[in-house]
Amino acid sequence: EAQVTQNPRYLITVTGKKLTVTCSQNMNHEYMSWYRQDPGLGLRQIYYSMNVEVTDKGDVPEGYKVSRKEKRNFPLILESPSPNQTSLYFCASSQGFSYEQYFGPGTRLTVT
């Protein structure tokens, strides 16, 4: 089954404790991206990747890192999480930015 998986689905953590949210797709897609969704603000793109070893900033990259060492995986790293990073995070993949985006189920992160 074609899908995008994210782990964990729910996470409660404390300020400053490094964490990684994993994202994996099995569709051989080149384009992958991370979004955060906050009430009243909609979805905002954090980072995107055009292909392996090619990543670029989206609209809200501050406080986040990503890597793309393999085509299928695109982890999101929060080196020192802060409460303002409490949000619902979605990973997505596609053939390219102008194609249908396939979203993962989301990760609900709470930073206390």
Contacting residues toward other proteins, per CB under 8 A: 31, 33, 35, 37, 40-45, 48, 50, 56, 58-59, 88, 90, 97-98, 100-101, 103-106
Quote the least distance from Cβ 86 to other proteins, whole Å. Answer: 14
* Of residues 52 and 103, the one with the C-beta less far from other proteins: 103
* Of residues 98 and 112, the one with the C-beta less far from other proteins: 98
Quote the least distance from Cβ 43 to other proteins, whole Å. Answer: 4
Quote the least distance from Cβ 81 to other proteins, whole Å. Answer: 21
Question: What is the DSSP pairing of strand 87-94 with strand 107-111?
Answer: antiparallel
Structure tokens at 74: 């695109």
36-67 residues labelled b (16+ CB within 10 A) or e (exposed):
beeeeeeeebbbbbeeeeebeebebbeebebe
* Of residues 15 and 95, the one with the C-beta less far from other proteins: 95
Quote the least distance from Cβ 22 to other proteins, whole Å. Answer: 16
β partners of residue 90: 35
